[in-house]
Structures are given as C-alpha cells and as structure tokens.
C-alpha cells in the first residue's frame, strides 16, 4: 500500500478493495491540484469492518495489561520511524506548513500514544468495594470518526485508548485528508496489531460515517467534527442506544485582564489564533480587552497579523498555509463579508487572497474591531484565520460576553496575577481554560461544555468512555 493512495481499506489485517468503488480526488489546498484518489466507503464496507472487529474482540479484550503495553511500545517505535512520512502527508493534503506538520501536527499523534502508554501502566481496572469487586472492562467495538484539521491528533486520541482498554475498532477519517490515516494503518500493521482489532474504512459522513454510527454491532461511537455532524451521529446512533461522545465546535473567548502585559498577551494570542490557518476548534477567536486598552490592543493585533508569513507550506519561512478546501475558503470569505456588512472594522487582512498569491485556498490573517456579541462573527465558528476584537468595561461584563455562546470548549485568560486569572477561569463555562497561554504539563482532559460536546480525551481521562463498569457482588 502506497502512502499516496487511499483507494483500498484496511480490514481484518489486510488491504481490501471497496465493495462498490467510488472515487474522490484528494486536493492539495496550496496548489488546488489533485494529488491522490480516495475511495468512498459504503455500508457494505463498514459492515465488513465491523464484523472483523466483532470477531477480534473476543480474544483482544482478554489480553493482559503487559501485552497491551508491549503493543503500544512497538507502535511508538514504528511511528517515530515514519514521522517524516506522516508530516509529508499532512503538508500535502491539509496544507500545514512543513514546520507545523513536522512539529505539532505529527507530534500530537506521538504525544497521545505516549501518554496513553504511561496511563495504561498505572490505570486501575479493578478495585475492591466492600465485599464486591468493581471491574472496568472494554466496551466493545468502537466506531471512530475523525476530522481533517489536526488529523493524527484526533486519530491517536481515539485509537490509543481503545487499544489500551482492550477494544476493537473501525476508523473513518476525513475523506478530505485520508492519506495520513493510511500511513497510520501501516504503522499499526507493522507493529503487530492483531487482525481485526484496528480497521480503516475511508469515506464521507453521509455514507460511511452514518453507517458506522447506526451499525447495531458497534457499541460506542467517538466523533470529532462540527456540531452539525455530531448531532447527525447522535441521531444515527440513538436507535441502538450505543454510547456516543462528541468533541465539536468552539468559539473560544480570550480575556485579557487589565493587569496583563498587553503586548505579550495580544502578540501571543493573535499568533495562536492564526496557527493552522485558524482551523482549530479551540482557537482563541474572540479577544476581549479592557475598553481603556482597546486602542493599544488594536495596534498590536493589526501589526502582528500583518507580520504573519502566508504562502507555500513547503517553505520553512511560511507561518500560515491555506485553509483546507475551496468550500472552506468560500465559507471564510462569506464570514468576512458578513463582518464588513454588519459594521465591523477591518484593521488587518480582509477579503480575498493575500497579495501575490493567485492560486491556493489562502486567506488573509484578518482582525475585526468594533465587534459586538450579537454579530455573526462573534457567535459562529468561522474555522479560519479571523479574530474578533471586543471591548469590555469590567470583569463581570467580560465573563458575561465570554459565556454568551452556545459553545464551551476552551477559554483563555491573561493576567500577571495567577490567583486573579484562576478566579476568572472558574467563572467560565468551558472545558479547558488556558492561563497566560499555557498548556498542561501532564495529560489533562480535553472536551467541552454545551454544544462543544461531551466526553473527554487525554491520558487516563480518555480511558473512561472506552470502558464499561461491572460490579461482581459477594466477591472480594
């Protein structure tokens, strides 16, 4: 199987032809040229993969902790050798700059495998409770549906805990960026994952995704994607009363407190917003600054946005590549137009491609000022490099603006006082709150409130949804 080809599926330990061949071009978003073909799977392909996973579950669910530890160690070893192959796929099909692809994008998959391995070594699958034994057992066959924006991050965040907990699975990655999943399947095969434990079926949501969510022999569906897609998955899964977890959209607020180093905070967070072309569900897309410091924040934000180097993802100078597709480019352009029509002031960027770029789905790093909470650009997830700069009068208003959203995935707070920042963080309705741009030094749970989904991923927290709880009474 060649890494540039996604026309066959990995089922029961072998690469097999689709039941009903139907192809789709994989397009490089930086060139707008087709670079590969992907087959769109059908219900028949999903059924074949689920059958293989169901058959493999009997044996794999009984493997020991030691065996699963050894398996994850082998996967990590092979993954490290295939690092550059994964990164090349992500640059080609997602448009991530080579530095991002070789760094955070590919590194995220390795990170999830590593923290899962560490968690597996100490996780308590059994404990005594009075005269009973509480046992955590693998839930069964898992349907894993992942998006294109951070592909190996989401794939590994689901596959790793499934393997660690003794589950078998069928993965359906995004049909827009399927090539990295092919390399990942090759890694698992070389590492010796038993046939049927991991299966890969390519395809789109209405075809393969819906069939996987509705399949009666799938016990659990883990979905990452849009809120609209998550609702569709939950409805498809409802008839068989299977467990469903969803990591969905976001419109993350970013509160810069009045005692923060505004130069540092605004510079850092504008760059964070533009990372991965703004295509991150937890991107800090609403920047809230004290009204008294608005002019200073405007100046800094505009200057930073104009400094972002947009262009060829293969150039080491490039800081931001294209958005994923023509459809996404048009979506972002519509939001920029709506922002202008609603009276927002464009202080950096704007409509159209950056100067000098005639091809590719490139978007200008855009900053809107004069944004109010009732405006579309402040309420809907744009999923592009567009930041809304908003003013607040006091902390209560800042918190009210931050929480005035159907989403609750992430939030950001900047302050010289950690105690003050933490006090504000506790008032925010979000699953993750970053203080001064920091990330956790140890595995922390990732997931959201409200329409940002349910369930958590990351280290031992990611095990919970892949396990059932059994009480064996009268046994100690």
Which residues are designated catalytic? 247, 281
Beta bridge partners of 244: 221
> What's the per-residue H, E or C state across the chain?
CCCCCECCEEECCEEECCCCCCEEEEEECCCCEEEEEEECCCHHHHHHHHHHHHHHHHHHCCCCHHHHHHHHHHHHHHHHHCHHHHHHHHHHHHCCCHHHHHHHHHHHHHHHHHHHHHHHHHCCCEEEECCEEEEEEECCEEEEECCCCCHHHHHHHHHHHHHHHCCEEEEECCCCCCHHHHHHHHHHHHHCCCCCCEEECCCCHHHHHHHHHHCCCCCEEEEECCHHHHHHHHHHHHCCCCEEEEECCCCCEEEECCCCCHHHHHHHHHHHHHHHHHCCCCCCCEEEEEHHHHHHHHHHHHHHHHHCCECCCCCCCCCECCCCCHHHHHHHHHHHHHHHHCCCEEEECCCCCCCCCCCCCCCCCEEEECCCCCCHHHHCCCCCCEEEEEEECCHHHHHHHHHCCCEECEEEEECCCHHHHHHHHHCCCCCEEEECCCCCCCCCCECCEECCEECCECHHHHHHHHEEEEEECCCC
Q: Are 439 and 108 in contact (CB under 8 A)?
A: no
Rounded to the nearest 5 degrees, what angle is found at the Cα of 113, between the Cα atoms of 205 and 41? 20
């Amino acid at each position: 199987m060649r890494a540039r080809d996604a026309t066959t599926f990995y089922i029961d330990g072998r690469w097999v032809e689709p039941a009903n061949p139907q192809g789709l071009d994989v397009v490089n978003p930086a060139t707008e040229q087709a670079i590969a073909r992907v087959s769109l799977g059908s219900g028949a392909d999903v059924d074949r993969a689920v059958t293989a996973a169901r058959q493999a579950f009997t044996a794999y669910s009984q493997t020991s902790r030691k065996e699963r530890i050894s398996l994850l160690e082998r996967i990590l070893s092979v993954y490290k050798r295939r690092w550059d192959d994964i990164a090349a796929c992500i640059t080609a099909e997602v448009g991530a700059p080579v530095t991002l692809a070789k760094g955070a994008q590919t590194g995220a998959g390795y990170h999830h495998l590593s923290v899962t391995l560490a968690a597996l070594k100490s996780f308590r699958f059994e404990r005594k409770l009075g005269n009973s034994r509480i046992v955590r057992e693998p839930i069964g066959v898992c349907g894993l549906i992942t998006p294109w924006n951070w592909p190996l991050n989401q794939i590994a965040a689901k596959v790793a805990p499934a393997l660690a907990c003794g589950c078998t699975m069928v993965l359906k990655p995004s049909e827009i960026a399927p090539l990295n999943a092919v390399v990942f399947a090759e890694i698992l095969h070389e590492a010796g994952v038993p046939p049927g434990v991991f299966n890969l079926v390519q395809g789109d949501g209405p075809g393969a995704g819906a069939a996987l969510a509705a399949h009666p022999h799938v016990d659990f569906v883990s979905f990452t994607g849009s809120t609209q897609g998550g609702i569709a998955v939950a409805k498809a899964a409802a008839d068989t009363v299977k467990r469903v977890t969803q990591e969905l959209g976001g419109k993350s607020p970013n509160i810069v407190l009045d005692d923060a180093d505004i130069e540092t905070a605004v510079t850092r967070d504008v760059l964070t917003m533009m990372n991965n072309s703004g295509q991150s569900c937890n991107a800090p897309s609403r920047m809230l600054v004290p009204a008294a410091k608005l002019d200073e924040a405007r100046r800094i934000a505009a200057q930073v946005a104009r400094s972002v180097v947009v262009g060829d993802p293969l150039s080491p100078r490039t800081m931001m590549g294209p958005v994923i597709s023509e459809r996404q480019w048009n979506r972002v352009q519509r939001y920029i137009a709506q922002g202008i029509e609603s009276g927002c002031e464009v202080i950096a960027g704007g409509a159209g491609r950056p100067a000098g770029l005639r091809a590719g789905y490139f978007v200008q790093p855009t900053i809107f000022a004069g944004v109010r909470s009732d405006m579309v650009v402040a309420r809907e997830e744009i999923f592009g490099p567009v930041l809304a700069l908003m003013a607040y009068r006091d902390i209560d208003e800042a918190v009210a603006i931050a929480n005035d959203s159907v989403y609750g995935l992430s939030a950001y707070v900047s302050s010289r006082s950690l105690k003050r920042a933490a006090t504000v963080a506790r008032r925010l309705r979000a699953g993750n709150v970053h203080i001064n741009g920091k990330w956790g030094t140890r595995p922390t749970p990732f997931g959201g409130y409200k329409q940002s989904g349910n369930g958590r991923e990351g280290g031992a927290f990611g095990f919970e949804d892949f396990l059932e709880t059994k009480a064996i009474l009268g046994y100690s």
